């Protein structure tokens, strides 16, 4: 049987700050019975009630780094049919947050080395290590350069969920954990050490989370300084679109909704009315509600929104924003909402049930990202019958297509350039259709609602690559 170990810094429901956790939590469930996919993450202080979730001590050993012995416990347990391993070291991981510490580089190089060293005693011998994002980027590098004799056949897949975060540190800051001796060319980045760069060269296969982003990463605008590396690894880098978990996001069964529904047109109205009451907005069935549910950061296109927010609010709409992020965007949105109490509500918080109510109540979902490796919110929005307005980039381009009234095809509204007025025109167009041709708007809503992005499809693509890699006699099959 094919055996795969996911190594990541987040997995829903144990630890989540972003979409990475959703992917690592959902994808392993989607492979079916002939693959054994397990997951390894750190045992953070914030992981709740370990014992209640039936997670227990497995064994422990010591990782030698910098002439010292570091304790490494392995806890294990099962969640929704998937076996999990938790790397336990209280000094590194018993902290209130997942990231944001001065020694994050050390914490995750420890995690990466501990993951490799645990392999001989897990009782599970994977064929493939599937690593995610910079926090685990040292794994393929160390395997190739320091552990190859112990695991001659083991192959590695590295997935880029976001090229913006690469794990860049001074050589001396983390070399005591990497034991490199000198700064190697394949990690060197403007005089510093770049963990992501090392993984791009050392992995047998590099994937990212949408075909368009895979292509965009070759371009300096998106490549964050590693576009040249991406171009040089050629066919070893591919894009596989993420999905969403249909059992978690289902408007017909979602108990968070005011009124669950299996058909959007007609039924969303009740959700809109309840949400308007809940948020103290005027209760009006005839006004299009535009929602934003996302981290309020530059990546998500907040600059564009900030630029034309007053023009947007001249339209006959309601605008609901939920999320946390950069203080300057939070403050701006709050103060604008204060000035338009009948039109705009801002909720600066992370509230999962409220997010679902907003998806279900809103007519339009705004996501004008500057770049977007995949994006999950637009897929969730569609699943709840909220029509996306997106910029044509990354996974947004691969999941949303501009509606064409001549063919009746298309599940949303799109614009190409990162330009506030292009976005504004697209919003105006959508709002016009809502006000002037409700039948047409309902058709677009149906198209969005019936779009399907299942994990099973993605899992089949990963599986084909896992099998190719396992059967390959040599490493770097794709170069
Ligand atoms: C990151 C990306 C997002 C992607 C997610 C899961 O959060 O920013 O676009 O959907 O990872 O792959």
pLDDT interval class at 123 (50, 70, 90): very high
Cβ neighbours around 444 below 10 Å, total: 24
374 Cβ closer than 6 Å to some ligand 1 atom: yes
| Residue-averaged pLDDT of the chain | 96
Pick the CATH number of 268-452 from 3.30.420.40, 2.60.40.3880, 3.40.50.150, 3.40.50.2000: 3.40.50.2000
Distance 68 CA to ligand 1 centre (A): 36
Q: Would you state the pLDDT for residue 52?
A: 60
Q: Shortest CA distance to 420 belongs to which of 310, 292, 294?
A: 310
Instruction: Supply 377's token pair.
Output: 């919110």
Q: Do domains 2-243+456-478 and 268-452 have the same CATH topology?
A: yes
The band of 48, judged by pLDDT with boundaries at 50, 70 and 90, is: low
Where do we find the tokens 């590695």? 156
Confidence check: pLDDT of 188 > 90: yes
* 4 ligand 1 Cβ < 6 A: no
Token pair belonging to 428: 């105006």
Q: Hey, what are 461's tokens?
A: 């693509």
Look up the CATH number of domain 2-243+456-478: 3.40.50.2000
pTM of the entire predicted model: 0.95
Distance, CA of 236 to CA of 247 (rounded, Å): 33
Q: How far is the CA of 413 from the centre of ligand 1 (A)?
A: 21
pLDDT at 415: 98
For the segment 207-225, the average pLDDT, to the nearest whole number, is: 98
Residue 473's pLDDT band (cuts 50, 70, 90): confident
pLDDT above 90: percentage of residues in the chain: 92
Pairing, β 192-194 against β 168-169: antiparallel
pLDDT bin (cut points 50, 70, 90) of residue 176 is very high
Which residue, judged by its Cα, is nearest atom 3 of ligand 1?
375
Q: Determine if ligand 1 sits within 6 Å of the CB of residue 208.
A: no
- Domain map (residue ranges) of the chain: 2-243+456-478, 268-452
């Amino acid at each position: 049987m094919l055996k795969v170990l996911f190594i990541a810094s987040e997995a829903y429901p144990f630890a989540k700050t972003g979409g990475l956790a959703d992917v690592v939590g959902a994808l392993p469930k989607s492979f079916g019975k002939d693959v054994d996919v397990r997951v390894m993450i750190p045992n953070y202080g914030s992981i709740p009630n370990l014992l209640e979730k039936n997670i227990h001590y497995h064994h422990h050993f010591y990782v030698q780094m910098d002439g010292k012995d570091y304790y490494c416990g392995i806890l294990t347990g099962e969640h929704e049919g998937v076996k999990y391993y938790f790397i336990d070291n209280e000094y590194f991981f018993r902290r209130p947050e997942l990231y944001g510490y001065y020694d994050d580089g050390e914490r995750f190089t420890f995690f990466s080395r501990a993951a490799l060293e645990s392999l001989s005693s897990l009782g599970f011998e994977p064929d493939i290590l599937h690593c995610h994002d910079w926090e685990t980027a040292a794994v393929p590098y160390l395997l190739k350069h320091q552990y190859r004799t112990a695991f001659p056949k083991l192959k590695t897949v590295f997935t880029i969920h976001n090229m913006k975060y690469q794990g860049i540190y001074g050589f001396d800051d983390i070399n005591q954990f990497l034991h490199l001796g000198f700064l190697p060319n394949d990690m060197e980045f403007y005089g510093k050490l770049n963990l992501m760069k090392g993984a791009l060269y050392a992995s047998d296969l590099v994937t990212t989370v949408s075909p368009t982003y895979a292509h965009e990463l070759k371009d300096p605008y998106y490549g964050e300084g590693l576009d040249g590396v991406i171009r040089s690894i050629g066919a070893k880098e591919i894009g596989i679109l993420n999905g969403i978990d249909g059992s978690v996001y289902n408007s017909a069964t979602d108990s968070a909704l005011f009124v669950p529904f299996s058909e959007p047109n007609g039924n969303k109205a009740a959700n809109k009315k309840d949400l308007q009451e809940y948020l103290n907005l005027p209760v009006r069935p005839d006004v299009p509600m535009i929602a934003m549910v996302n981290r309020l950061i530059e990546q998500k296109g907040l600059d564009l929104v900030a630029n034309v927010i007053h023009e947007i609010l001249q339209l006959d709409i309601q605008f609901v924003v939920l999320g946390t992020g950069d203080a300057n965007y939070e403050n701006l949105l709050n103060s604008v909402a204060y000035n338009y109490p009948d039109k705009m509500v801002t909720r600066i918080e992370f509230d999962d049930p409220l997010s679902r109510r907003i998806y279900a109540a809103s007519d339009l979902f705004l996501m004008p990202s500057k770049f977007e490796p995949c994006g999950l919110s637009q897929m969730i929005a569609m699943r709840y019958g909220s029509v996306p307005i997106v910029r044509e980039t990354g996974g947004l381009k691969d999941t949303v297509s501009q509606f064409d009234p001549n063919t009746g095809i298309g599940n949303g509204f799109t614009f190409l350039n990162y330009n506030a007025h292009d976005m504004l025109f697209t919003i105006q167009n959508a709002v016009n259709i809502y006000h002037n041709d409700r039948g047409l708007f309902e058709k677009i809503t149906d198209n969005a609602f019936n779009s399907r992005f299942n994990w099973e499809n993605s899992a089949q693509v990963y599986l084909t690559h896992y099998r190719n890699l396992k059967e390959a006699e040599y490493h770097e099959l794709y170069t």
